[in-house]
Amino acid sequence: MSEFVRNVRLWLEPERVRDQGTTPDYRFSLANERTFLAWLRTALALIGGGFAVDQFLPHLRWAWRVALALALLGAGVLCALRAVHHWMRCEQAMRRGDDLPVSRFPAVLSLLVAVVAVVMVVVVLAGWAG
């Protein structure tokens, strides 16, 4: 079974993470949880932005509006899934005394949001009507 599949199982049964290593200082676990919640807030903001683009920019061509909305909604879904995955990986690393996992996801998400923002600025300024 791959590591990813094992981690997905732990998402739904987080008490099983206690089988690994020793219990870390609770402050680190709470900090990990706060980071997880920050990622979820980011996911909710992206999802809200996707709905806002679809609902509040009706003058845009349908294809542009849907493409921008889907990009934001997709980023929100990925962000939410990545949040729980990263939370579990960090919890495991702390229990085992390993280095915390690194990720390219924040950079990829930042680039995606920047690209969507630039496209939105161009589309809105150009006033491409449907």
Q: How many domains does the chain have?
A: 1
Q: Is 15 within a domain?
A: no
Q: Is 6 within a domain?
A: no
pLDDT tens profile 49-104 = 999 999 988 888 888 889 999 999 999 999 999 999 999 999 999 999 999 999 99
Q: How far apart are CA 39 and CA 100, in angstroms?
A: 17
Q: Phi and psi (nearest 5°) for 47?
A: -65, -45
Please give the helix or strand (H or E) that residue 17 lies within, else none: none
Q: Is 86 within a domain?
A: yes
pTM of the model: 0.82
According to DSSP, residue 22 is labeled -
Q: How far apart are CA 49 and CA 120, in angstroms?
A: 11
Range of the domain at 96: 26-126
Q: Is 9 within a domain?
A: no
pLDDT tens profile 9-57 = 877 887 888 888 898 999 999 999 999 999 999 999 999 999 999 998 8
Give the per-residue pLDDT at 66. 92
More confident residue, 107 or 61: 107
Q: Is 4 within a domain?
A: no
Q: Is 3 within a domain?
A: no
